[in-house]
A and B are shown apart, each in its own frame.
Chain A
Amino acid sequence: MERNKEFRHYLVGFVLATVLTVIPFTLVATVGGKVALFALILCAILQLIVHLRYFLHLSFKGQQREDLQLVLFTGLILFLMIGGSVWILGDLYNRM
């Protein structure tokens, strides 16, 4: 029973991830432009969550290890470092 449930969990994750991969590839190959860019960013974030949720089994409830907090904290660090670098250097670039 438990095994079937977990197997389905992986399968759902795989199907969702596949859909979220096919959408941006198709849009970039056909439509392009701003629409594709927004869809691309949205799908990437959603697929990130799908992977963490269905393959790495992170969730908000029933968590015994601090994996989720660890990931969220690292996300914050990454946001600060990447966002900061891009912001400052982008600003410099625009002034040149």
Chain B
Amino acid sequence: MSFSIRKSLYPGLNLGEGHGDDHLEAETSVFGFWVFMMSDLVTFGMFFAVFATTVPLACCPGPKELFNLGSVALQTAFLLASSLTSGMAILTLKQQHASRSASTKKLIFWLLLTVLLGCGFLYREISDFIAMAAAGGPPTRSGYLSALWSLVGLHGLHVTGGLVWCLVIVAGILVRGVDLRWKLTLLRWAVFWHFLDVVWIAIFSFVFLGGLL
């Protein structure tokens, strides 16, 4: 197996050569997760397509009555910051070669910080949903609103799933240490979390900002 250890894989969502065979193990499972993530992206794409076809019918109430630009900016900030902290968690993981070491605490710190930021995002998003329903824009009101709630709600569900996943990883690390299984899970979770932020770029740009123009 040494032939591929020699080759330096690109930096980032990999374990790094210091992890020996675990590094190679991560190759296949992370690539497999990328394939899943892409199919998930196509799902989001279809929700976007449905949403886009309903935009000309967005009226009464439409975006101008329902959206809160400040809150969307805050959600964007939360999610972007959480992307950075999850990246810091992966960097810490790459440095840590033993299953329990001084940097385990650091790793857990970054993961919990990510969860905290993700909760901030969800809190703002749910408050916005409640405010939207109160302002006369529940999902049953129009085709546009159904598509809007499904698209943004689907993203919110993914974020919720990502947060639960992260907490499970933290618990697993506390119980069993950072072994191969949790290393691989962490890498996959990081791909997932970064992609949620990528999807959010499309949502805040085209759904919220585009709607307010």
Which residue of chain B is the closest to A59 with respect to CB atoms?
B10
Q: Which label, helix, strand, loop or mixed, suits the secondary structure of the A interface? A: helix
- B200 CB, nearest partner CB in chain A, Å: 10
Whether B21 sits at the interface, judged by CB under 8 Å, is no
When distances are taken between beta carbons in the complex, the residues of chain A under 8 Å from B42 are 74, 77-78, 81
When distances are taken between beta carbons in the complex, the residues of chain B under 8 Å from A67 are 31, 34
Whether A1 sits at the interface, judged by CB under 8 Å, is no
When distances are taken between beta carbons in the complex, the residues of chain A under 8 Å from B11 are 2, 5-6, 9, 57
When distances are taken between beta carbons in the complex, the residues of chain B under 8 Å from A93 are 56
* Beta-carbon contacts under 8 Å, A18-74 to B: 18, 21, 24-25, 28-29, 32-33, 36-37, 40-41, 43-44, 47-48, 51-52, 55-57, 59, 62-67, 70-71, 73-74
Q: What residues of chain A have their CB less than 8 Å away from a CB belonging to chain B?
A: 2-3, 5-7, 9-11, 13-14, 17-18, 21, 24-25, 28-29, 32-33, 36-37, 40-41, 43-44, 47-48, 51-52, 55-57, 59, 62-67, 70-71, 73-74, 77-78, 81-82, 85-86, 89-90, 93
Pairs across A and B, CB under 8 Å, 13 listed = A21-B77, A21-B204, A44-B201, A51-B194, A63-B10, A64-B7, A65-B31, A70-B34, A77-B42, A81-B45, A82-B46, A82-B48, A89-B53
